Amino acid sequence: MTPLAPVSFSALGTTAVLCTHPEEAVDAALAVLHDELERIDRACSRFREDSEVIRLNHSGGRWMVVSDALLEAVHVAVVAARQTGGAVDPTVGTSMRLLGYDRDFTEVAANGPPLRCRVEPVPGWRQVRIDWSGRRIQVPAGVEIDLGATAKALAADRAARRAAEASGGGVLVGLGGDLAMAGAAPEGGWVVRVTDDHRGPLDAPGQTVTVSSGGLATSSVVTRAWRRGERTLHHIVDPLTGWPVRGCWRTVSVAAGNCVDANTAATAAVVKGETAVEWLESLGLPARLVDARGGVHTVGAWPAEPR
Amino acid sequence: MSSRAAEHRRDAGLARVGRTSRWITVGAVALIGVVSAAVAHSLPGRSTTSSSSSGTPATNSTTIPSSNPFGSAPGLQAPSQAPSNTVPASPPARVLSGGS
């Protein structure tokens, strides 16, 4: 079986990966992927002055008419919050900014002085209001939206689906390690290495699995981490405290029917900590959880690692 | 007619009036309940929230609330097929799923 060579490039402050089957479908799929990346970036980037979500965060509590892209992204984020009991919450923007993640992560200093600010529990997703008939969103003054947890996954789902339609082939789209698949996968499925960091080597510690459809996402507290004083911070915020999660899981990978659901479940599992296993089991989501000591725990139909 | 018999008829009449009043009260309460339930079922209400400092009316808006925000919010969808381990004939992994 000939390995399918992925196309990869930088996008959305992370890495975009595209695989097609057959490989000849790559041009049509790539055009769609670029289109979706620009769409989601223009709507949802916290680090782009002309993005819609920046304007929404500065709207002073007024209703704001938004594009379909932002409307969908906020809707998806709010649904994710509801599905996870608030563990994945889009109103973590202020916490992110106060913690120092206020620019593209490549520009965030790896080390810095101790934080001199008061971090509080997040306002909560129920503060976000959507007016569907008017295509408007309202966020209270002072509340900042961060769609990072779900917007990339949404873009991956949309791009994979559209690219499969446009190319007539099977497509895998990866954005920051969150994978969406659509169309007919190659025989035996897409071969994926599940690990802590999507930028790691292809033989990094982890598990190699095959997947054929839907979504596969991984959330980890060891990536996008930085230090302020003696404290290590990272990008997964516990909405109950406003601080980065200090739970029992280092990395969680989840397979789901689509990338948004996989990403939502993986991030929520990191936040939920010890209760995550039971929660994932109740949802029937196959998952692989790595604890702080490197111990691997599998949930549901996730395959045990071969010895 | 003796005064004793008149007193007896008066007491009996007062007792009938008391029983009738009690039954009318019970019947009225029951009727109100039945009518209220019927109206609630046939004319369901609608929750509204006050608008923000912008003063924009909340009419025609959907609040993202704790209850049933989009008609029915679907649960997280399980995959149609779970991941599986590779077989000896599988090609090497070319894609990583990891934290970002």
Contacts of B98 in chain A (CB under 8 A): 177, 194-200, 204, 206, 218, 220, 223, 251
Smallest Cβ–Cβ distance between A283 and the set B62, B78, B85 belongs to: B78
Nearest CA in chain A to B66: A126
Tokens representing A132 are 């569907």
**Three-state SS for A37?**
helix
Determine the Cα–Cα distance for residues A12 and A105; give it in Å rounded to an integer: 10
Contact A284, B78 (CB under 8 A): yes
Contacts of A62 in chain B (CB under 8 A): 52, 54, 56
pLDDT of residue A109: 81
Residue (of A234, A242, A217, A239) closest to A292 by Cα position: A234
Determine the Cα–Cα distance for residues B3 and B12; give it in Å rounded to an integer: 14
Determine the Cα–Cα distance for residues A17 and B95; give it in Å rounded to an integer: 8
Residues 25-84 of B with CB under 8 A from A: 49, 52-54, 56, 60-66, 69-70, 73-84
pLDDT of residue B43: 47
Residue (of A76, A117, A83, A90) closest to A233 by Cα position: A117
Contact B75, A283 (CB under 8 A): yes
Label residue B2 by pLDDT band (50, 70, 90): low
Contacts of B91 in chain A (CB under 8 A): 1-4, 191
Determine the Cα–Cα distance for residues A122 and A125; give it in Å rounded to an integer: 9
Question: Do the Cβ atoms of B80 and A213 come within 8 Å?
Answer: yes
Alpha helices in A113-188 (DSSP H): 148-167
- Beta-sheet strand order (sheet of B95-99): B84-85, A206-211, A190-197, B95-99
Alpha-carbon distance B46 to nearest alpha carbon in chain A (angstroms): 15
**pTM across the whole model:** 0.79
Position B70 pLDDT exceeds 60 = no
pLDDT of residue B65: 40
Question: Do the Cβ atoms of B95 and A208 come within 8 Å?
Answer: no
pLDDT of residue B54: 35
Phi, psi (rounded to 5 degrees) for A235: -95, 0
Nearest CA in chain A to B83: A211
Size of chain B in residues: 100
pLDDT of residue B68: 33
Contacts of A19 in chain B (CB under 8 A): 94-95
DSSP string, A261-299: HHHHHHHHHHHHGGGHHHHHHHHT--EEEEETTS-EEEE
Nearest CA in chain B to A60: B54
Question: Do the Cβ atoms of B85 and A303 come within 8 Å?
Answer: yes
pLDDT of residue A53: 97
Question: Do the Cβ atoms of A220 and B84 come within 8 Å?
Answer: no
Position B40 pLDDT exceeds 60 = no
pLDDT of residue B96: 93
Task: Please state the ipTM of this predicted complex.
Answer: 0.85
Position B19 pLDDT exceeds 80 = no
Alpha helices in chain A (DSSP H): 26-44, 52-57, 68-83, 93-99, 148-167, 259-272, 276-283
- Cα B56 from chain centroid? 28
Contacts of A128 in chain B (CB under 8 A): 64
- List, in order, residues 6 or more apart from A276 with CB less than 8 Å away: A249, A252, A268, A269, A270, A289
Summarize pLDDT for B71-84 with one digit per residue, the tens: 445 789 999 999 99
Question: Do the Cβ atoms of A6 and B95 come within 8 Å?
Answer: yes
Determine the Cα–Cα distance for residues A115 and A118; give it in Å rounded to an integer: 9
Single-letter amino acid code for the residue at B34: V
Contacts of B84 in chain A (CB under 8 A): 189, 209-210, 303
Alpha-carbon distance B55 to nearest alpha carbon in chain A (angstroms): 9
Contacts of A193 in chain B (CB under 8 A): 93, 95-97
Tokens representing A122 are 């997040």
pLDDT of residue A172: 97
User: Which segments in chain A show pLDDT lower than 50?
Assistant: 1, 3
pLDDT of residue A224: 79
Label residue B38 by pLDDT band (50, 70, 90): low
